[in-house]
Chain A
Amino acid sequence: MMEEKSGNITTRELWARLFQAPAVDAFFQENGDACSLPNFSEYINELCNVRQEKPGTVIKRSNIESSFGHRLFSGTRNPSRDTVLMLAFGFELLPDDTQQILKVARQTPLHPKVKRDAVIAWCLHHHNTVVEAQQILYEHHLPLMGGAKFEA
């Protein structure tokens, strides 16, 4: 899907132009069956272990309501795409890792044709916090993550 052409430009070329470095190659080369994807809650718990983070810290940095965040970690709730993106900020992921976590959550990846996705990818690439990212979306009249009104 990601190799589809839009006019004369491939999606990969679009990303490359945007970031001047093919940081998302690893994601694009993974074409495994969706059935082989790990369970989302197991994945984020494992991510906590690898990064030596506590779920509570990640949830706080994600600006997600605490009890809902813990339900995501326990697997009793499934996240929306925006929630996954906010968690990506909580984990301080780079765009390629964000594509992976979106894939695990069975959500569509960030796409360079979508301006909002492009801005979010830029913010992740520059290690912005979720609040800073929301500020930037707000300034560019783009819908905020989680559908909430922006509060600085």
Chain B
Amino acid sequence: MKLEDFLIAFENADATSHYPADFLGEYTMMECLSERNGVDTFLVQNQTGQMFIAKCYDVEIWKQTGEKQILSELQSVHLPKQIAVFENENVLVTVREYIDGISLDRYAMENELSSDEITRICIRLCDILEILHHRKNPVIHRDIKPQNIIVKPDGEIALIDFDIARIFRSENDTDTYFFGTVAYAPPEQYGFSQTDTRTDIYSFGVLLRYLLTGSTKENKNIRVYRPLGKIIDKCTAFSPKERFSDISQVRRALVSANPRAQLLKKLKISGVILLMVCLVSFGGRKLYQYITYDPFTDTSIPGALNDKERIQDAVRYMKDKYKTELFDSSLEEHATMGFVRKALMELYGFDKEYVYACQEEGELPEEGEAYFFPWDLDDGQTVRRDTMVYTAVKVHDAKMVADWSDLKDDTGEYPGERVAVAFAEKTGILTGANRPYDITVGEVALILANTDRVFEAAKDS
């Protein structure tokens, strides 16, 4: 057969000759993508070589479809834009944007999709369905399936084929005809009741199952990640009432079902528990310390020593801490007030004037007076133990031994020394200092060292 005869045969047999002439003049058919339900879908090319999708509807079928109206009302990068419409008495042709990419079924076939990737795609699909379902008059796609989802080269997805989509009108009770793809269609799409947005949710569930298991039917032999399995079950419940009522709920469930999100959730919960345990134990410890804290009990002073060893230990401590040679003389010698004053100046940096000053005879000491000792004490006289204790405590906390308002005794005499002694007895400062009068240089070192240790320990806690 010659080509010319062949083309004549083609022209005679050409089933497209009844298509609108202006459409055939403007576009060249490149591929027939599908023939279904009186709708032929072609890939067409315009004169500049740009590709489009043309849908040629039998006019009777056209009256039942909502694609033209729906696509012209909806504008989204995830939905194909409508470019032109051609019409004659037999056929209506809509030309829409060609979305570059491959269908999700082919994409799934060519790539081993992980649960993560499937979840990502389905979340994007939820975003698109939210646009459709959350309109004032919701649009129900009614044919959600992998063949109608295009995965673009950049990984984004688009939803195509609104042939059987409809705008939901609450006054309609049932759909008259069955449309859609059997495996993905819910029971109500067979005419039991009117379809609403939960119809798409059912198909969405079947789609999720297909992507995870490779089958649209439930297969108990294939294990599905449990949180995703629960979503499938809820989406595909027989009764629409038992399904998710809104696609946003599905989206939220998917986001939290994502293995990473689950891991993050577990980590967050563990973190919160750990933090609470830390807070409780730390707080409990602090509370225990607060309840049991008593500045007058301290264990910082070495215990298992005899008196001589304690004095030697105290001298070592003072030498190490203050780098002093004061205690190089015989530790058995009686200390004098002069020695004590020297220690105050050399070890603790008090002014000479301050340690030598004294109030007038017969006067009671007053707060803020500029002297260390409230008594007139000669440099040559020996030292009483209680005076030494008063000295050692005042070095660290002058206020404790100078509380004028509350601690005056019945005689109205200055009570600082007794306060210091009471504190020393409570805290063990007197451990090893048994002599009440004429204490030795070693005992001076002992009382100073013990007092230092007690205040340092109190500071640390």
Contacts and interface: CB of A to CB of B under 8 A. Distances in A.
Interface of A: 1, 4, 6-7, 9, 11, 14, 17-20, 34-35, 78, 81, 106, 108, 111-119, 122, 126, 136, 140, 142-143, 147
B3 A113 contact: no
Nearest to B105: A34
A14 B10 CA distance: 8
A18 B15 contact: no
B49 interface: yes
B29 A114 contact: yes
11 contacts: A9-B15, A20-B1, A108-B33, A112-B15, A113-B14, A113-B40, A114-B29, A115-B10, A115-B14, A117-B32, A118-B6
Contacts of A35: 109, 214
A2 to B, nearest CB: 8
A20 B6 CA distance: 10
Interface in B1-57: 1, 3, 6-7, 9-10, 13-16, 18, 28-36, 40, 42-43, 45, 49
Contacts of B3: 119, 122, 126, 136
Nearest to B34: A1
Contacts of B15: 6-7, 9, 14, 112-113
A111 B14 CA distance: 11
B106 interface: yes
Given A113-B40, A136-B3, A18 B28 contact: no
A60 B174 CA distance: 60
A111 B31 contact: yes
A59 B436 CA distance: 116
Interface residues of B, number: 30
Given A34-B109, A35-B109, A147-B49, A14 B34 contact: no
A113 B34 contact: no
Nearest to A121: B6
A136 to B, nearest CB: 7
A152 B69 CA distance: 47
A108 B33 CA distance: 6
Given A122-B6, A142-B28, A1 B35 contact: yes
A18 B42 contact: no
A6 to B, nearest CB: 4
B5 to A, nearest CB: 10
Given A1-B35, A111-B31, A116-B29, 20 more contacts: A1-B34, A1-B36, A4-B35, A7-B15, A9-B15, A11-B35, A14-B15, A18-B9, A106-B106, A108-B43, A112-B10, A113-B29, A114-B30, A115-B10, A115-B29, A117-B31, A126-B3, A142-B28, A143-B30, A147-B49
B10 A18 contact: yes
B89 to A, nearest CB: 14
Nearest to A106: B106
Contacts of A116: 28-30
Contacts of A114: 29-32, 42
Residue among A81, A111, A136, A142 with most chain B CB within 10 A? A111
B16 A18 contact: no
Contacts of B33: 108
B18 A7 contact: yes
Contacts of A106: 106, 109
Contacts of B110: 78
A108 B31 contact: yes
Contacts of A112: 10, 13, 15
B344 to A, nearest CB: 91
Nearest to B1: A20
Contacts of B109: 34-35, 106
Contact of B6 (A1, A4, A18): A18
Contacts of A19: 1
Given A18-B10, A20-B1, A115-B10, A108 B32 contact: yes
A113 B31 contact: no
The 3 closest A-B pairs by CB, nearest first: A111-B32, A4-B35, A6-B15
Contacts of B16: 113
Contacts of B6: 18, 118, 122
A118 B16 CA distance: 13
Given A113-B15, A113-B29, A4 B9 contact: no
B396 to A, nearest CB: 83
A14 B13 contact: yes
Contacts of A122: 1, 3, 6
Nearest to A140: B7
